[in-house]
Amino acid sequence: HSIWVSTDHDEIEKVAKQFGAQVHRRSPEVSQDSSTSLEAITEFLNHHHEVDIVGNIQATSPCLHPSDLIKVADMIQREGFDSVFSVVRRHQFRWSEVKKGENKMTEPQNLNPAKRYRRQDWPGELYENGSFYFAKRHLIEKGYLQGGKMAYYEMRAEHSVDIDIDIDWPIAEQRVLSFGYFGKEPLKEVKLLVCSIDGCLTNGRIYVTEDHKEMVSYDYRDTVGIDLLKRRGIQVRLISDRDCSKTLSAMQLGCVAKANVTNKLQVLKDWQEDMGLSWKEVAYLGNEESDVECLKQAGMSGVPADACAAAQKAAGYICKSRGGCGAVREFAEHIFLLLEKVNSARKQ
């Protein structure tokens, strides 16, 4: 009946409210690194006696779809279960652990090596995937999220991704673009990429010769990325705070460009309106505070790895590459992944 975000962070509260959620401000006692989800939920219930059922959705499982949550809510409300949690089916053979220094052999846990079968012929096992936990109030007040009349909900493997450590991020990003939920509104193809020149296309450094001529450097990989975008029918336009018209002319990138800009957002809006595009069809790559509003407005936004903190907070994607060192090419690849998602949705 209601959607809440439990947080002690001002920025998270602001974003939650922007998207229509209500906010419960956590106390410092349940906002520690060692605090558990159960502690935060229990505190929430102490302030909201009208709540009978809680669905705890984990932020580290970004491929969750509303259709799954609707089915689980029905299991609680109509089928009489006290708790329902998410699982995924895995086909992995388990062996007992042998600690270093122990003089013993490992033992099979869920297979017979003498009659080993192909994993694809085996029904597999169910594992909690941490995506969500639904429970009635009386269970949580006793101190647990699973109990009473229990049931599991098996999620599709492609929707089951859990972020635990850094190396899970690229896997999650790929999985979200391929199988994630993007809302009821149909996905739009990106048709325009606007890229800030200094700090994105270049590394931001300016070399000045003795005769007062400026020189900058850029990465050939980024020019390839721009060319690939053009081949896919995506316009690439460049923008800069400073007057770098001579530099742009020397680069010979064949892109519409505007230099010496004092209001980047206004230029971006003018281009978007002139091309008759929705904001979901516009991508923006920036790196400075002057890019922040553009990053927030564009349907797809990115920054190089060395962008300022304000730009990183506003962006939807942070490149692994630094400005002038392949960031444009990397962001182009990110756009191509979205295009694959759009094409896949159309086929379905």
> What are the domain boundaries of the chain?
52-90+122-165, 192-346
Residue 248 has pLDDT above 80, yes or no: no
Which one of the listed residues 25, 94, 116, 156 is annotated catalytic? 116
Residue 195 has pLDDT above 90, yes or no: yes
Residue 118 has pLDDT above 90, yes or no: no
Residue 179 has pLDDT above 90, yes or no: no
DSSP for 115-183, written as a single string = G---GGGS--EEEEEEEEEEEEHHHHHHT-SS-SSEEEEEPPGGG-----STTHHHHHHHHHHHH----
Q: Quote the pLDDT of residue 99.
A: 93
User: What CATH number matches the domain at 192-346, 3.40.50.300, 3.40.50.1000, 3.40.50.2300, 3.30.110.30?
Assistant: 3.40.50.1000
Mean pLDDT along residues 249-273 = 87
**Using an 8 Å Cβ cutoff, are 216 and 259 in contact?**
no
pLDDT digits (tens, 9 = 90+) for 13-26: 998 998 889 999 99
Q: Quote the pLDDT of residue 120.
A: 83
Regarding the domain with residue range 52-90+122-165, which homologous superfamily does it belong to in the CATH classification? Spore Coat Polysaccharide Biosynthesis Protein SpsA; Chain A (3.90.550.10)
User: Is 116 an annotated catalytic residue?
Assistant: yes
What's the pLDDT band for 346 if we cut at 50, 70, 90? low
CA–CA–CA angle 264, 265, 268 (5° rounding) = 90
What's the pLDDT band for 210 if we cut at 50, 70, 90? confident
